[in-house]
Amino acid sequence: MSKILMVLTSHDRLGNTGRKTGFWLEEFASPYYVFKDAGADLTVASPKGGQPPIDPKSDEPGNQTASMARFKGDKEAQAVLANTVKLETIDAGDFDTVFYSGGHGPMWDLVDNKKSISLIESFYNSGKPVAAVCHAPAVFHHVKYQGEPLVKGKRVTGFTNSEEAAVDLTDVVPFLVEDDLKQMGGLFEKVADWGSFAITDGRLITGQNPASSTAAAQALLMLL
């Protein structure tokens, strides 16, 4: 049985807009069930532990998906989410892989999180795959492998500049995921806005947007 760590944000403030953010519900629910249905042993963590903030926009009527509906009827999954473990307590040696769900929150609390950075490096250095979807590839910002940025020379994707512009948050986020991955030497690829797209390059898996979270989770299972 694969032991999978899922990491969510604890950050709920959308820059200086006065609006709420957090993790994108589809990007938790969909991978959660991909892993669960495959019989994986799941642990969900966040920087502060406990109930992480759901981005209210992700739960709007137009954004509902089958996995979200399933989650809302699943008391066990709701309890797992309400009781995430503190990231500080996690040892990479206890898991086979890590999956980072997006939403805008991670751009504020996971990018500079020393524990998160060391965890990703620990997973990757020990030959384990690492996955991140949508805004979560931002967590690779400070991650190094053999002295170079982890994403350097690798095919990657993530939330695109045009998708960020479409949600009017280009000037709110600390940086743009697409630009950042390119600046670090990542070979950035994308499909049309909101299309499902996931890339596997060696042990690194990235997904473009919420619609890509299922594909990214399935790609990770294939590596395991």
- If one counts every other C-beta atom within 10 angstroms of the C-beta of residue 126, the result is 9
Q: Residue 8: its pLDDT value, please? A: 98
Contact 203, 222 (CB under 8 A): no
How would residue 116 be classed by pLDDT, with cut points 50, 70 and 90? Answer: very high
Mean per-residue pLDDT, 58-73: 96
Contact 123, 97 (CB under 8 A): yes
C-alpha to C-alpha distance for 42 and 180, rounded to whole angstroms: 30
The pLDDT mean for the chain works out to 97
Q: Residue 85: its pLDDT value, please? A: 98
Q: Residue 94: its pLDDT value, please? A: 98
Side chain identity at residue 126, one-letter code: S
Q: What is the domain partition of the chain in residue ranges? A: 3-223
pTM above 0.85, yes or no: yes
pLDDT in tens, 74-104: 999 999 999 999 999 999 999 999 999 999 9
Q: Residue 34: its pLDDT value, please? A: 98
CATH classification (class only), 3-223: alpha beta
pLDDT in tens, 11-54: 999 999 999 999 999 999 999 999 999 999 999 999 999 999 99
